[in-house]
Amino acid sequence: MSQITTCYKHPDRETGVSCQRCDKYICVSCATPGAIGFLCPEDAKDRVKIQRPSFAKSPFQAAPVTIVLIAINVLVYIAQQLNPDLTNWLLYAKYPQDTTYGSLFRVLTSSFAHSPDQITHILFNMYSLYILGTIIEPMIGKLRFLALYLLSAFGGGIGVLLLAELGVSVVGASGAIFGLMGAYLVLLRALKLDARQMYVLIGINLFLGFLPGIAWQAHIGGLVVGAAVALVLAKTRSREQQSTQIGLLVGIVVVLAGLWVYGNSLLPTFVNY
């Protein structure tokens, strides 16, 4: 005598159909066509989630600040190609005090300029910015991401100021990019996710940064500041901690300003004969 099987949701309905995933018996009302056979309501929902694209929004919607930053870098690079003298007006250099080359304004402008003779410089940086930005910006929000990026760029300039030899000049978004790397590492650790690949990626990039012609000092400065900003964001995630978060971020700005003043005080005074 054969055993009578019924729908797990409707015991009063006989059925010989089972879910292709969990093997639970399902009636016609509960069955959803799958790739092969039928699925129960629970597995049908999971199937929809799996098939849904990972990025429900386009990068322009999910990470608008990242796209704008990339656009600014590209436009500045095009301007550098059209006017070769522009790079000299944008770069930051560790020069004696009272020169425009070492001004705070130059720290910002230099982070949006790149080597006009090496297109790989901007291509690599913008690719890294796109990958990291489209991941991190949706995680922390537009304003926090912008603050992270700019503070990391400033940290890169301070790294050059404190660690580089006198006369070194720099351009590029590398300090900010390393800040994003450091921030993503901290966020992965805060979420208790596997961060081993980020350790390897940061290690390789730090090693490559010591090759001739690369400002490793900016990489170090950006990495440290980016990690510090992300640590504040990770430790003050709740709505009740917003004032604490703002206070700590302001504290980072104050520390960076102090390091800027200290680093410049160590430079020889510029004398215009």
Catalytic residues: 174, 219
Question: 3-state DSSP helix/strand/coil percent for the chain, to nearest 5?
Answer: 60, 5, 30
Tokens standing for 259?
């390091």
- Judge contact between 180 and 129, C-beta under 8 A: yes
Q: Which two tokens stand for residue 128?
A: 């890294």
User: CA 135, 136, 139, 144 torsion: positive or negative?
Assistant: negative
Token pair of 112, please? 């949006």
Q: How many CB atoms lie within 10 A of CB 25?
A: 21
What's the burial of 200, exposed, middle or buried (CB within 10 Å: 0-12/13-18/19+)? Answer: exposed
Helix (H) or strand (E) holding 164: none
- Count other Cβ atoms within 10 Å, centred on residue 78: 10
